[in-house]
Structure 1
């Protein structure tokens, strides 16, 4: 197709009528290209999400099953966002939320992964209800801007810390708690190389920079036979064991994640002791999704003069529905991805872009043998780099105002240092309300936030007492 025909808006086709291509000034080829761009930019989640969740979800062939359920959840979330909300916003299991699920809830609190999935499902129900009822604006307005940015930045710091830990760059030290690992160890130098490759590709605006970095680092590990793969004798690392003779080494039929699908424990998650976990899943996803979707809508030019997004209730409800479906399939919270901005930058303006992403995630299920070749040292740079990108928002915090800066700082620093996203959110909200109240500026805080802070404070008192 020539450049002239590609730039001509679609006419009376069924796709045009359903997605409003002509009204958005777009074309089918442009939407397809934008969808491919978004997929390449966010497809690293196919490898990183199983890497994170497999530390907490112990089932046979966990990595492959988690890769499958990641692809299915991402496909469903992107398809409903495109077909129902009709926006070019792709969805997948969220970074940060998967770390909270695995390291804080399951490993830290000792909650069974089935019960944790139940908590994710319940949080999705709450998300849908509040979206449909239009309560989103009231809750969003209750959270100060500084804490919204700090929560995102804190999750970024937490992800970066996890990446450094997984790569062996940061190790435990009995004298100083943490220390620097051996830079000559294979996982360390491979992860550092991958981080440099990803940063260089991203700085040169290469589409899918994180994915290409993972693949390039994996290729280096295979060619050099670096000992970075699990499965060696007595727990030692080994070099790449091979693909077991599959077609082209990377193609095979999809595997149904039967050990994960439908295993969520909703009844267990409704217990009083887990209400704080449900709230944290809901809280983090609610405001992360709100910020992401609003920012993407602004970038695509969809916000009205009041800063509101058309079809907001439907859009946020689809985000909650995706979280519910993902929990049923066996993965942590599915949410909107900021990487959708790459597709918007390529001209994607309608739901056809998100539908394209969903279809590509379904096709990726045939490439699951490739996952066996991806070592943790290759995905660790993705955690570090995504963490760095998520820190961008803290520059919007008013650091000159201690009542704004200190709660934001506590939010950011507490997440990696206490190894808990929930603790960071809680300390930020409680300290914000306390400082504002006792400094004579209590009226600057929404009554809703005081209620939230009181509930969090009661939770900590409850924990100390029991």
Structure 2
């Protein structure tokens, strides 16, 4: 198709630039399905967390609908406006901060907390359109960009190991090895071996086939890997329990959540610190995620800039605003988008596919529930391993490059925060360069950001 004149190509090819990115419609659709499967857990986890703070009738189902609609909107904007293969959804970590720190801890009404999320989204859009976020990304050196990508990979792998029960909490050592005979563990290990072997044989859609094979094995063996058992215990596949034809669930319009945000209350003096925290954490979390994903997808140019960067970062802010209006905590770019990138997703068609699948999930959410966490965990581990490839290009013999890269890589999984990894990497990079007499190698913008980050940690804490 590369020899076909641009005006004669199919409209999907022309709009998304499929030929220029060396991809096809089929590959993009497959990549979108893979991304959706690896992040579909958010449909059930986000309502579970937010329902502890948001007290409305039928809260879980309404929040599930809000989660799906926010993810659909955010992914569609990313695909149609920025035309990147990155999916968006209500972010983990930020939803816990919203619930347990802001609403339950500080006693702020959930409507006011939603107002704070909305305002932080407005700030994202303004800074993005002014080029501020783009300037920060350009100021970050290549070694840190590669470390951010690798750190996200390590973070993904850690999430996968945790979800599978391979890595568990340990009072004596913080983390330890889980029970290898437990159903989630052996299923995840099965999926990891199958997916890895298929990838080694260069089988198309290796990650997706691994997810489906593990899901089928979980169902036919009756493995207890599904949530919803008595006292929170895992159970075997409960079957399709939707209200129509088994796999369908009637959508519910979240009337008790839509438009309930309190912007005026969020602008009061007592809530300004909440706005700043939402803004700060998501700014560096999303900026790190988008930078790492763009690096992995091959969008980072030699001048360390990205095409359509302002639209890319503004899409993140628009998603946060829409999510807050609908009734959920911050909607942001999902690191699980890396799974679709590994499947060949390179354009906005991947993200649009994810958006369509989230819309379908408002009708087919019982079917989405058939994919257990043990089936998607291997995909996260495998994709995480692939994202470490760029670390070989870091100059490990130069301590001013190696140590910040190492801290960036280490802090993401160990603090369970992309923002912390980026922050400590930037601060240490600027400090080492300055104290070693090589301060001129650092952009003034990066020094300013490092100073803000240091002040934030010293005076505002977590």
For residue 40 of structure 1, the aligned residue among 12, 33, 47 is 33
Q: CA offset at residue 400 of structure 1? A: 1.4
Q: Is the 8 A contact 1:243 1:249 kept in 2?
A: yes
Aligned length: 445
How far apart are the structure 2 equivalents of 1:352 and 1:176?
44
How far apart are the structure 2 equivalents of 1:316 and 1:50?
24
Q: Is the 8 A contact 2:43 2:68 kept in 1?
A: no
Residue in 2 that maps onto 1:223: 220
Q: Is the 8 A contact 1:296 1:340 kept in 2?
A: no
Q: Is the 8 A contact 1:114 1:263 kept in 2?
A: yes
1:57 aligned to 2:58? no
Residue in 1 that maps onto 2:87: 92
Residue in 2 that maps onto 1:275: 276
Q: Is the 8 A contact 1:116 1:264 kept in 2?
A: yes
How far apart are the structure 1 equivalents of 2:16 and 2:172?
64
Q: Is the 8 A contact 2:87 2:354 kept in 1?
A: no
Residue in 2 that maps onto 1:389: 386
Q: CA offset at residue 161 of structure 1? A: 1.9
Deviates most, 428-437 or 288-297: 288-297
Deviates most, 149-158 or 446-455: 149-158
Q: Is the 8 A contact 2:148 2:292 kept in 1?
A: no
Residue in 2 that maps onto 1:135: 132
Q: CA offset at residue 159 of structure 1? A: 2.8
* 3-state SS of paired residue (1:175): coil
Residue in 2 that maps onto 1:146: 143
Deviates most, 161-170 or 286-295: 286-295
User: Judging changes above 3 Å, is the alpha-carbon distance between structure 1 residues 36 and 259 closer, same or farther for their aligned structure 2 residues?
Assistant: farther
Q: Is the 8 A contact 2:185 2:374 kept in 1?
A: yes
* 3-state SS of paired residue (1:373): coil
How far apart are the structure 1 equivalents of 2:44 and 2:441?
42
User: Judging changes above 3 Å, is the alpha-carbon distance between structure 1 residues 389 and 442 closer, same or farther for their aligned structure 2 residues?
Assistant: same
Residue in 1 that maps onto 2:371: 374
User: Judging changes above 3 Å, is the alpha-carbon distance between structure 1 residues 161 and 69 closer, same or farther for their aligned structure 2 residues?
Assistant: same
RMSD over equivalenced CA pairs, Å: 4.1
Deviates most, 160-169 or 373-382: 373-382
Q: CA offset at residue 457 of structure 1? A: 1.7
For residue 398 of structure 1, the aligned residue among 395, 400, 412 is 395
How far apart are the structure 1 equivalents of 2:36 and 2:448?
39
Residue in 2 that maps onto 1:288: 289
Q: CA offset at residue 122 of structure 1? A: 4.0
Q: CA offset at residue 137 of structure 1? A: 4.0
How far apart are the structure 2 equivalents of 1:306 and 1:237?
50
* 3-state SS of paired residue (1:178): strand
* 3-state SS of paired residue (2:388): helix
Gaps of 5+ in 1: none
How far apart are the structure 2 equivalents of 1:256 and 1:272?
32
How far apart are the structure 2 equivalents of 1:23 and 1:371?
28
* 3-state SS of paired residue (1:171): strand
How far apart are the structure 2 equivalents of 1:312 and 1:420?
23
User: Judging changes above 3 Å, is the alpha-carbon distance between structure 1 residues 84 and 63 closer, same or farther for their aligned structure 2 residues?
Assistant: same
1:334 aligned to 2:329? no
Q: Is the 8 A contact 1:78 1:91 kept in 2?
A: yes
Q: Is the 8 A contact 2:150 2:409 kept in 1?
A: yes
Deviations 1:102-138 (A, max 9, x none): 4667568867887776565444333322332233442
1:437 aligned to 2:426? no
How far apart are the structure 1 equivalents of 2:377 and 2:200?
19
Residue in 2 that maps onto 1:242: 239
Residue in 2 that maps onto 1:156: 153
Gaps of 5+ in 2: none
Q: CA offset at residue 378 of structure 1? A: 2.5
User: Judging changes above 3 Å, is the alpha-carbon distance between structure 1 residues 240 and 178 closer, same or farther for their aligned structure 2 residues?
Assistant: same
Q: Is the 8 A contact 1:70 1:92 kept in 2?
A: no
The within-5 A match list for 1:184-223 is: 184-223=181-220
How far apart are the structure 2 equivalents of 1:203 and 1:103?
38
How far apart are the structure 1 equivalents of 2:221 and 2:150?
36
How far apart are the structure 2 equivalents of 1:186 and 1:196?
16
When the two structures are superposed, what TM-score results if normalisation uses the length of structure 2? 0.79
Q: Is the 8 A contact 1:410 1:428 kept in 2?
A: yes
Q: Is the 8 A contact 1:121 1:327 kept in 2?
A: yes
Q: Is the 8 A contact 2:288 2:422 kept in 1?
A: no
How far apart are the structure 2 equivalents of 1:423 and 1:357?
28
Deviates most, 451-460 or 73-82: 73-82
Q: Is the 8 A contact 1:168 1:181 kept in 2?
A: yes
Q: Is the 8 A contact 1:161 1:416 kept in 2?
A: yes
For residue 408 of structure 2, the aligned residue among 389, 411, 414 is 411
